Amino acid sequence: METSPKNIRQRIRSFLSFISRDIWRISEHEVGGLRHRFYNIIRTIILAGKGFSNNELVTKASSLTFFSLFAIVPLLGLILGISKGFGFQRLIEEQLIRALPGHTEVLDFLFDLVESVLDVAGSGVIVGIGISFLILSVWAILNNIEISFNKIWQIPKSRSFFRKVADYMAILFVIPVLLILSSGASIFLSAMMEKSSILSAVSPLVNFLMKLSPFLISWLLFTMLYILAPNTKVRFKNAAISGLIVGTAFQVFQIIYIGGQLWVNRYNAIYGSFAAFPLLLLWLQLAWIMVLFGAEITFASQNIQNFFFEKEIKNISDRYSYFTILMITSIICKRFENREAPLSALDISTMYRIPSRLTQRILNLLVEMKIINQTVSDEDKRSLTYQPAMDINQITVGMILKSVFNFGTEDFKMDIQGRFRRHWNIMLNIERELMAKGDQILIKDLL
């Protein structure tokens, strides 16, 4: 039986409706196992794609490429300077050449330039100026990376100055350590294979692991970047998934880049020895696009639950909004009466099947109205929980509804005392009737 064009169009419409709306209405309580994981993968890809477009990551990648060009020599200078102090400079250089084999010519030029910069920065009267220039250049690129990641994670506030110093120094120290460990492991395994007959017997496996080391370094570096760069708590699982994807893509891109020697030779024929720099620019741009897309994947995979029923939450009716306010307040008050541990926003969403974004919106409103307070969780100091801000025997349905009705400004120039006085009085009468009935019901008694 042939499929008609009408049926094809209908299937396409159904599919588009499913990925744009229906997939965000299916919770883990309705489907489980592999199907739930498969749906989460689709949701993550959709959210990452939307974020990539909405956050204009190609433009941000161009900005980071520009800052990278200024910071690449100072960054290498600090990394090689740190490793030189421990006697590992040559080891780091070899490892960088091994990790970035398509850029040997550029790296050789940069190593010579770094040597000159370090000599100048550490000599004579300008030692302080030279070192300050190195540190400020590296600070600029790391700060711009943090700003880009915070934008992706929708975090308005950067970390404090002292936290930046600690985190940035950690990154600068960890990179050489990873490179040294990787190189040291390769040298150690090669030496052991020559001495040990057992290791010689499994030399194909050892050789495979040594070839895998660039991938391992990439996975570790990107995972660390996705955990440390944004000013928020990033779960290791989500960062590791993105680190694995982007690290693998980065190494595959390197292999393709090196394999396209004919294409590279064409650039050499046009630009001569200068060809390395436009190719470096292209490589940096594509590398930053991959890095930022990985950050979008990390954000999407960790925050999928916040986008369930997203369209419905934007168009929620006032009636359902008031119902949710009463429901969440009664949950908090009842647990307080029963002397049970306070819940976080995620706990409330999970236990009572309320969309996460709606839960957080209601909790923020109740905090602003001073009906509930935020408290720090006893189990996790970085997690916020919620408790009543007043005597629960005074929190009535009427009091909550009155707080909601009166919350916000009414300072407009409409004629409520003249032409529209009857309209305004009708609203006040309806409010008084609701309050009179609601004041007789304690919120904690609704459960």
Q: Which residue has the higher pLDDT, 223 or 117?
A: 223
Asked if the model's pLDDT at residue 319 lies above 60, the reply is yes
Find, among 226, 67, 41, 218, the residue nearest to 150 by Cα: 226
SS3 string, the chain, reads CCCCHHHHHHHHHHHHHHHHCHHHHCCCCCCCHHHHHHHHHHHHHHHHHHHHHHCCHHHHHHHHHHHHHHHHHHHHHHHHHHHHHCCCHHHHHHHHHHHCHHHHHHHHHHHHHHHHHHHHHCCHHHHHHHHHHHHHHHHHHHHHHHHHHHHHCCCCCCCCHHHHHHHHHHHHHHHHHHHHHHHHHHHHHHHHHHHCHHHHHCHHHHHHHHHHHHHHHHHHHHHHHHHHCCCCCCCHHHHHHHHHHHHHHHHHHHHHHHHCHHHHHHHHHHHHHHHHHHHHHHHHHHHHHHHHHHHHHHHHHHCHHHHCCHHHHHCCCHHHHHHHHHHHHHHHHHHHHCCCCCEEHHHHHHHHCCCHHHHHHHHHHHHHCCCEEEEECCCCCCCEEEEECCCHHHCEHHHHHHHHHHCCCCCCCCCCCCCCHHHHHHHHHHHHHHHHHHCCCEHHHHC
Q: Which domains occur in the chain, in start order?
A: 53-306 (no CATH), 310-446 (1.10.10.10)
**185 close to 208: Cβ distance less than 8 angstroms:** no
249-307 pLDDT tens trace: 888 887 776 665 556 556 555 555 555 677 777 778 888 899 999 999 998 888 887 77
**Distance (Å, whole) CA 249 – CA 290:** 8
**Distance (Å, whole) CA 343 – CA 334:** 12
Question: Which tokens in the block code for residue 426?
Answer: 């009708």
Burial of 329 (0-12, 13-18, 19+ CB in 10 A): buried
Predicted local confidence at residue 325, as pLDDT: 92
Q: Which residue has the higher pLDDT, 280 or 402?
A: 402
For a pLDDT cut of 70, what percent of the chain falls above it? 68
Handedness of CA 147, 151, 153, 155 (dihedral sign): positive
Question: Which tokens in the block code for residue 200?
Answer: 């010689």
Question: Which tokens in the block code for residue 61?
Answer: 């990648």
Asked if the model's pLDDT at residue 109 lies above 80, the reply is no
Angle between helix 89-99 and helix 161-195 axes, rounded to 10 deg: 90
**Distance (Å, whole) CA 359 – CA 319:** 16
Work out the angle at residue 174's Cα, subtended by the Cα atoms of residues 255 and 280, and round it to the nearest 5 degrees: 35
**39-43, 48-52, 113-117: least confident range:** 113-117
Place of tokens 């009906």: 371
Mean pLDDT of 30-36: 74
Asked if the model's pLDDT at residue 121 lies above 50, the reply is yes
